[in-house]
Amino acid sequence: MTTEEYIEHEALQKRNAAAAIRAASKIAIACHVNPDGDALGSMLGLGLAIEAGFPDKQVTFFAQDGVPFVYKFLPGSDRVITESAPIDIDLSIVVDSGDIVRVGQNILPIISSAPVVLDIDHHVGEGAFGAVRLLDNRAAATAEIVFDLLCELQLPIDRDIATCLFTGVITDTGSFRFMNVTPRTLRVAASLIEFGASPALIAEQVFDNRPFNATALMGRTLATLTSVADGRVTYATVSREAFEESGTTDHDTEGFISPIRAVRGTEVAMLFREFVPGRVRISLRSAEWIDVSKIASCFGGGGHRMASGCSFDGTLDDAVAAVTAAVVKALPEKAQD
């Protein structure tokens, strides 16, 4: 596809997505399980903008695992629900999910009940779904795509909406440190600041706002740091015992994978959390040349090329052994410079 063809394709997708939103009156918006800043920021920013621009439309927000503490500052976060009886909707929008099943078993029947499903994501893969799709793998964050959609809809962007979307951008780019940052990313970020987003406030809430017991848990987690495959794979674990003794939950591990990823020479970083007995949740982060979404999909998960997640039924030791073996097997023979 030429550049001109890609631009036209993207424009058509935006027009179709905008038309679907204009035609709907009752809208459900959902994000993936274990939501991050981009998932929640994109969902809330889009929903708040739709409500502000179309007062006659009803929007309901869904996140099966709820909102982690560090993201409760986001406007509208108190409206997110984790499950619901069947509701009457005519449009479902799923953001940042890679595959529709990643919204979770509690939410999937609700989302699937809509006559029209809109998939908005910066991950373009085999899991794409929905009658209407707005996908762009050039975007650093789904929030970038949502911003463009709001412009297509000519919806006003206030401080609350800008705060949500900027949170999506800053978290999925690692504060603009990752390889996915483009000139477009920075232009979107600048526009959101002009609309009222405060980078300093958002960064403080997301990166410098961890409770004492969660900070202590991070120290305990980093004490389990392990390196294999000549330092190319690094991981840490959080046992059920560690959660119970520290009085924390899986939500408190938000951001724990960053220092694991930062270990020199690491090409794949993993964080294993035994959040309930016999059930382990795994987060994976990778260098640009390794697609961890393929590994996550082998264990029923998914996500994006450089950031994915999955769950494992079994003991923590079994999860570490199985997933680490799959990662090591997937490593290229020689890492790129």
Per-residue pLDDT tens over the stretch 236-256: 999 999 999 999 999 899 889
With residue 46 as reference, give the H or E element that holds it.
Answer: helix 37-53
The distance between the two most distant Cα atoms of the chain, rounded to a whole number of Å, is 58
Q: What was the pLDDT predicted at 61? A: 98
Examine the pLDDT at 334 and tell me if it is beyond 70: no
What is the C-alpha to C-alpha distance for residues 280 and 301, in angstroms, rounded to an integer? 12
Using 50, 70 and 90 to split pLDDT, how confident is the model at 5? low
Contacts of 186 (CB under 8 A, 6+ apart): 176
Strands 302-303 and 307-313: antiparallel
Per-residue pLDDT tens over the stretch 29-74: 999 998 999 999 999 999 999 999 999 999 999 999 999 999 999 9
Examine the pLDDT at 131 and tell me if it is beyond 80: yes
Average pLDDT, the chain: 93
Per-residue pLDDT tens over the stretch 167-185: 999 999 989 988 889 999 9
Q: What is the mean pLDDT of residues 259-288?
A: 94
Per-residue pLDDT tens over the stretch 96-127: 998 899 999 999 999 999 999 999 999 877 77
Q: What was the pLDDT predicted at 304? A: 80
Per-residue pLDDT tens over the stretch 214-239: 999 999 999 999 999 999 999 999 99
Q: What was the pLDDT predicted at 335? A: 46
Per-residue pLDDT tens over the stretch 282-300: 999 998 789 998 999 999 9
Tokens of 78: 């108190």
Whole-prediction pTM? 0.87
Strands 279-286 and 307-313: antiparallel
Tokens of 311: 């769950």
Contacts of 244 (CB under 8 A, 6+ apart): none
The four Cα atoms 260, 64, 204, 47 give a dihedral, to 10 degrees, of: 130
CB 43, CB 31: distance < 8 Å: yes
**DSSP track, 237-290:** EE-HHHHHHHT--GGGGTTTHHHHHTSTT-SEEEEEEEEETTEEEEEEEE-TT-
Examine the pLDDT at 336 and tell me if it is beyond 60: no
CA distances from 110 to 75, 191, 220, 255 (A): 23, 34, 39, 30
Q: What was the pLDDT predicted at 4? A: 72
What is the C-alpha to C-alpha distance for residues 145 and 127, in angstroms, rounded to an integer? 18
Q: What was the pLDDT predicted at 333? A: 81
